[in-house]
Amino acid sequence: MVDAYIWGNIERMSPEAPVPVVSVTKKDFRLGGAANVALNIKAMGANPVLCAVVGDDIDGEKFASRLSERNITDQGIYKSETRPTTVKTRVISNNKHIVRIDEESTDVINNNEKEGLLTNIEKLLPQCQVVIFEDYDKGCITPEVIKFTVDLAKKHNIPTVVDPKKQNFLDYKEVSLFKPNLKELKEGLEIDFNVTNRDELQNAVVRLIDELQCDGAFITLSEHGVYIANQDGQHHIPAHFREIIDVSGAGDTVISIAALCVAIDLSPYLVAALSNLGGGLVCEHVGVVTIERELLMTEAIAKIK
């Protein structure tokens, strides 16, 4: 998807309705959604390969142009003649978010789109070291797409990492690492528990792993840090004390670092610790930003034992 921004000044109210008039001073058109995860992957020094569906439209062309500017391949992007490119436009004035305008379709992809997407996945997946499912409940990722991709990844011995949403939550069977946040975990399993009670948290995660038959689960707990568990044990890592300015994009950073750690077979503790640290670092900046790997390395050496 695309994150578009319109900045401007408000100096008067509209004579047509009780709404402010924004005099535009600047516009921007940025890679968003799973493409922001790709930017984080790129910032960490790896080469992301996006497989997704965009519209065969002007916004799709702008999207491809932004990928080219960042030296990210568009080989896995399927252009649909019937589906629009997802664009989320934010109008900002005096550093305040006035309104957001969404242009998108959340319908499940049609057969042509599905076949085009699966063809690209089949062609490109074998050359990769890890697969990330970045799910936004927008209709592109379906149970069939999930099963096809997981089966293909297992055939090539490639790990799969998931950042889920509610709709497909329990369809990610037999993945390598499943990474919901606390709210998604509770909603996905339709349970409630006290996150500060270690036993209740552990029981919920054990149930999740059993339900999905996945190798491991990694739960982000906001101010309570992160929790990771697999057959080798579990680790609860507290959040680092930081000046939180903006949490936008922190989840993208966390899944990016986690996936790269899984790709090089780091221990579960290091997967969680490095991801937790990176997510905290990007929260110290305004807006959606990518991780600075040199800063991550410096902080990791200082804080991770």
Closest CA to 224 of 212, 235, 236: 236
Active-site residue 246, yes or no? no
Closest CA to 49 of 152, 174, 134: 134
- Extract the tokens encoding 50: 């996006």
Catalytic residue among 59, 163, 215, 252: 252
Give the strand order in the sheet containing 226-230.
Answer: 131-134, 160-163, 177-178, 216-220, 226-230, 233-237
- Are 274 and 240 within 8 A, CB to CB? no
Q: At what angle do helices 143-155 and 111-124 cross, to 10 degrees?
A: 20
Active site residues: 252
